[in-house]
């Protein structure tokens, strides 16, 4: 069967003749339809906006952030500090949902934490740094103070989990993030050192399985976060 139609209708005809094309272009699950999972916090964000809640700091990150106060550790007591972490996400996904989950809430500051999933999937430290750079520049354009957390260490303490996330690669990424923050006048928050042993691996007694901190681990990385954010708060009120 041939299709003799004006050019404008040719695409529609092609779809009618090729049902497989419809299958290829239709999302079959939520991950395909919403790659960045922008709907994950949609209702929670709407409630905050409708209530007129003052948001001072948004923590935008992966599972290291998401688990904080939910599965391990204790979340901060400061009002207006909200958790917008999603487990398994890469910096590309964070970048895509930065507006929905952070900027549209009009915070004074944003804490960017990620990199582990990117590195696990084979992305280079430079590619990861570039996503941090774009997120930071977007936040800065909205007059939001930028804080960047170093990538946390890993270990094969319980089972093999490190893979491409070697001490050397993590160190290289953190060096790139430090240089970026210096150049952009952003604040780097070191949460790697408190969790690392002398070899640069995650300390066994501070992790759940070799990647995520346990209660004791979060208790060690909370102070650097608080010190950096409180210092900023003091300066911004002068």
Task: Tell me if 188 is assigned to some domain.
Answer: yes
* Structural domain contains residue 73: yes
In a domain, residue 29? The reply is no
Token pair of 145 as six digits: 């103070």
What digits encode the pLDDT tens for the residues 27-51?
666 557 789 999 999 999 999 999 9
- pTM of the predicted model, to two decimals? 0.86
Using alpha carbons, select from 69, 114, 118 the residue that is nearest to residue 217: 69
**Of the candidate ranges 26-30, 129-133, 186-190, 207-211, the one whose mean pLDDT is the lowest:** 26-30
The pLDDT tens digits of the residues spanning 135-179 come to 999 999 999 999 999 999 999 999 999 999 999 999 999 999 999
Please say if the pLDDT value at position 23 is more than 50.
no
Domain range for 198? 40-236
- 86-112 average pLDDT score: 98
CATH number, residue 112: 3.40.50.1110
Residue 72: inside a domain, yes or no? yes
Rounded alpha-carbon distances, angstroms, from residue 189 to 73, 176, 192, 227: 18, 13, 9, 9
**Residue 134 counted as domain residue:** yes
d(CA 204, CA 213): 10
60 is a domain residue:
yes
CA–CA distance, 143 with 191 (Å, rounded to integer): 25
Q: Read off the tokens for 68.
A: 């904080």
> How many domains does the structure of the chain reveal?
1
CA separation for the pair 233, 45 (Å, rounded): 23
Q: Establish if 6 belongs to a structural domain.
A: no
Please indicate, yes or no, if residue 95 is contained in any of the structural domains.
yes
């Amino acid at each position: 069967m041939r299709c003799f139609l004006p050019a404008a209708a040719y695409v529609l005809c092609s779809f009618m003749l090729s049902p497989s094309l419809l299958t290829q272009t239709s999302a079959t699950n939520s991950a395909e339809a919403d790659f960045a999972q922008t709907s994950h916090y949609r209702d929670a964000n709407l409630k905050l906006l409708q209530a007129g809640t003052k948001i001072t700091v948004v923590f935008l990150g992966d599972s290291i952030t998401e688990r904080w106060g939910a599965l391990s550790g204790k979340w901060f007591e400061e009002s207006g500090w909200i958790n917008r972490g999603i487990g398994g996400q890469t910096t590309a996904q964070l970048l895509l949902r930065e507006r929905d989950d952070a900027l549209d809430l009009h915070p004074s500051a944003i804490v960017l934490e990620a990199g582990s999933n990117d590195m696990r999937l084979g992305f280079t430290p430079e590619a990861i740094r570039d996503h941090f750079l774009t997120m930071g520049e977007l936040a800065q354009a909205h007059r939001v103070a930028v804080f960047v957390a170093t990538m946390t260490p890993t270990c094969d303490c319980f089972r093999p989990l490190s893979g491409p996330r070697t001490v050397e690669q993590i160190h290289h990424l953190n060096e790139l993030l430090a240089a970026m923050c210096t150049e952009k006048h952003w604040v780097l928050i070191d949460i790697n050192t408190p969790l690392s042993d002398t070899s640069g691996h995650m300390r066994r007694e501070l992790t759940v399985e070799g990647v995520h901190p346990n209660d004791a681990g979060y208790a060690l990385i909370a102070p650097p976060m608080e010190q950096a954010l409180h210092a900023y708060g003091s300066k911004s009120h002068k």
